[in-house]
Structure 1
């Protein structure tokens, strides 16, 4: 089993943290620098609303930030060996054709440890292409977390299996930061992306609200902005965004990703998810939500 020994060799220093003292009610900002394949990130953070800047300007592949809260009795090493290790085995078998798409659920349940249900991915994705930076604001409860990148290399290896993972402890101390007040709003409906904003170049912040289906569950859990070209196939982009495809989330990406978010803990019609990004040039763009093959959910637009 991969024990991620390469982590001990990484020089992960010089993390930028901005904001006033914890006595001031101000935004708490942390810059995470991505490399191929490592994160430069803090070991400890206060609890509350934290704005994470994913700086992907030094990397050559697309990356993401996923936050997994670990069960109290489980160590980061156990998470890597037993939980991530199970997904490594599943992915290897799936890519070799030994497990079919329909059999993924049963097989991963065989491989995962008994405590796997206690791992909570509170926020994920926010895909950022090489040379770009983007932000997302996440509410973190006290506890132990893993900061991961689940994108795959060209050879189909999960980035975190190559060392792109970090343990982070969220303390009982409060960041004393307010919930964001985004200038623009996106509402994800079953068959519509309702975006309320003026499409123009510049830095933009978004609050994402998700409607509920008939059972009360969120209709979707992700939204991304991409810059398109004349030959960009949005059906191909949608398929590529599916991690459970053999070629899904495997470098290189079929489009230029500017940022976005996936969420697993939002309450439909109530709580929002927040992200911000920079649109640095005119051109053709698309908001895209990853949905099942054969379905389409995107908005294309032009910035003159």
Structure 2
């Protein structure tokens, strides 16, 4: 997690007294989301402002917590009916649905985070990941509403990130090479449509080509991947968030599964899948 920063007043010249320390800089609110198969446990209401969304995967399958903001006074019932209509007609989601990030997929038993600023409004956490039977978890009831209420306390400042990754149509652009260790990474969607980033380790001997072959083969058999380290779920164009995770030396995949705005195919099919080596 980002370190808190402290500001200490300096000595005042010409006096023997020291100035009082300035107050601590406010840190982000922390909201824990517990994922099971197939439900979320989430606080009903949280304050607006800088927030670390902490996903704890207590299920037996991969889960993420994709955050959806409902605009124009729309309700959760509107979201359910609008999503169903869009899926049946293969149409884009309604324009009052905003994709607001959230922690991406982590391995069962692990925890992932995403830190971002939440504006007041109505939100829904969703898991879009499919089960082995091909059914997305949302279709099994894995969604939960959350209200973000106006906060009374001053807003916290976003912590500094060690490096950044820009999501484009269709690539991941690093500000600098990724090295082993714990990193806070700023993710910016510089593309023209929603994108996500999810990171998974590759077992020894496995490559991006193995993963793509598994994907194109109907996702049959065991995943040719290792531990899933999280990332940031779908962000609208111009959106940004941060995540923190630890990288051991080895090979990793960066993936975006979000359906394309033009043909509906996942962005990995358009080349938004990258293998990197961490040393």
TM-score (norm 2): 0.73
1:194 matched to which residue of 2? 174
Question: How far has the Cα of 1:52 moved from its partner?
Answer: 0.7
Paired residues of 2:256 and 2:268 also in contact (CA < 8 A): no
Gaps of 5+ in 2: 5-23, 258-266
C-alpha distance in 2 between matches for 1:195 and 1:45: 33
Within 5 A, what are the aligned runs for 1:134-145? 134-145=112-123
Q: Give the structure 2 partner of residue 204 of structure 1.
A: 183
More helix by percentage: 1
Deviation per CA, 1:12-47: give whole Å up to 9, x if none: xxxxxxx9xxx9622211121111111111100111
Query: Residues 124 and 144 of structure 2 are in contact (CA less than 8 Å); yes or no, is this contact kept in structure 1?
Result: yes
The separation in 2 between residues aligned to 1:147 and 1:278, in whole angstroms, is 25
Name the stretch that deviates more: 123-132 or 28-37. Answer: 123-132
Residue 31 (1) aligns with residue 26 (2): no
Q: 1:183 to 1:235 in 2, by over 3 A?
A: same
1:65 corresponds in structure 2 to 65
The question of whether the paired residues in 1 share the 8 Å contact of 2:199 and 2:255 is answered with yes
Q: Determine helix, strand or coil for the equivalent of 2:68.
A: strand
Cα deviations across residues 256-292 of structure 1 (Å, max 9, x unaligned)?
A: 311111443342xxx642111133x554334445534
Counterpart secondary structure, 1:258: strand
Give the corresponding residue for 1:264: 235
Q: Which of 145, 148, 152 in structure 2 is aligned with 1:167? A: 145
Q: How far, CA to CA, are the matches of 1:266 and 1:61 in structure 2?
A: 29
Aligned partners of 2:229 and 2:39: how far apart in 1? 20
The count of corresponding residues between Structure 1 and Structure 2 is: 245
Q: Which runs of 5+ in 1 are unaligned?
A: 1-18, 91-106
Query: Residue in 2 aligned with 1:273?
Result: 241
Is residue 208–residue 275 contact of structure 2 (8 Å, CA) maintained in 1? no
Give the deviation of 1:197 after TM superposition: 5.3
Match of 1:76 in 2: 76
1:284 aligns to 2:264 (yes or no): no
| CA deviation map 1:225-269 (0-9, x unaligned) | 21101353424545878xxx8957x996542311111443342xx
Partner in structure 2 of residue 177 of structure 1: 156
Larger radius of gyration: 2
